[in-house]
Every structure is written in structure tokens, then in C-alpha cells.
Amino acid sequence: MKKISSIAEIGLDRVFRWLSFSALIIVFDQWTKQIVVNAMTLGERLPVLTYFSWVRWHNEGAAFSFLADAGGWQRWFFIVLAVVFVSFLVFELRRLAPKASLQHLAYALIIGGAVGNTIDRLLEGYVVDFVLLHYDRYYFPAFNVADAALSVGALIWGILLVKEVLDKKN
């Protein structure tokens, strides 16, 4: 049986590096949400540009307010879902090849975003959203730093999955 001689051999240093990046996302997410909570009242909207406003909205659902009016059970469902999925991604981070930097980045972004919003759900029962993009009467759902990290991470992961499928066909 091969003896493991260092942390680097089992990839924990790489996992720690990427989880540190996730932690920065979590800190930035929580910090920005606290600024909004301290500076704005619930429902307040501050127009910045014709297509951009700061808002303070509380979302009890998931992305795009999915299940926001479900009666409360969704809070615990999303918390459990996040814990399970983040645990899976942390495990997968260790299994990734050292050169899979984009995949590491995708996982780290998703972990940071999921944990950031889970903290809100645990402490408050809702997620604070504060960025609102709009044009005329058309609105993109309000979001926050955690949502942005989750979305970018999922987009990168999706692109990598499509690339993997296309590479296998060739």
C-alpha cells in the first residue's frame, strides 16, 4: 500500500485554496447584504441608472422567487438542498484533476453562493436581494452577490459539460 507523504498528494491544499475563494464570496455577500439592510427599508428602491436600481427585497423562495409563497416549508427544503449539494461539491473538489481550474472555479463560485444564501435562510428565513436590472416595463428578478456567484458558477459548469460531451463525440 502506498504511503501518503503530504497533504498536497491528496489534494487538500488545492481544496483549501478553492474553499478560501468560496469564503471570500460568502464574506462579500454577507457584507453587501448588511450594508443594504442598514441603509434601506424593506421595499425601498433607489434608481441609479435608467436600467439599474438598488432595492431591498426579501425573497423567501429560490431563484426568481421560485416557491416564495409556499408557506414556509421551502426554507428548510432549500437549506437541506444546499447542505447536500455543497457537501457533494466539496467532495468533488478533491477528486478533480489539478489542472481542472475552470471546474474548480465553477464549484467554488457555486459553494460560495449557496452558503451565502443559506446563511440568510438560517438566520432570517429569507434572502436579501438588492440589485435590480430593468428596461422600460421589463424587469430581471432582483439578485445579490450570492445569486451572481451561483449563476456564473452554474454557467461555467454548464459550458464545461457541453464541451465534454462535444469532445467525446469527436
pLDDT tens sequence across 94-145: 888 888 789 999 999 999 999 999 999 999 989 999 999 999 889 888 999 9
Q: Give the pLDDT score at 76.
A: 80
| Cβ atoms of residues 108 and 22 within 8 Å | yes
- Asked if residue 170 is part of any domain, the answer here is no
Nearest by Cα to 125 from 170, 90, 161, 76: 76
- Asked if residue 6 is part of any domain, the answer here is no
- Asked if residue 145 is part of any domain, the answer here is yes
- Asked if residue 54 is part of any domain, the answer here is yes
Kindly state the cell numbers that stand for 158.
Answer: 454548464
pTM of the predicted model, to two decimals?
0.86
Number of domains in the chain: 1
- CA separation for the pair 77, 65 (Å, rounded): 14
Catalytic residue set: 129, 147
Q: Give the pLDDT score at 14.
A: 83
- CA separation for the pair 27, 30 (Å, rounded): 5
Strands 45-49 and 127-135: unpaired
Q: Please state the rounded mean pLDDT for residues 80-105.
A: 90
pLDDT at 4 over 60: no
- Asked if residue 38 is part of any domain, the answer here is yes
Neighbouring residues of 2: CB distance < 8 A, sequence distance ≥ 6: none
- Asked if residue 2 is part of any domain, the answer here is no
Q: What domain range includes position 75?
A: 11-163
- Asked if residue 5 is part of any domain, the answer here is no
- Asked if residue 17 is part of any domain, the answer here is yes
Q: Give the pLDDT score at 162.
A: 94
Q: Give the pLDDT score at 169.
A: 82
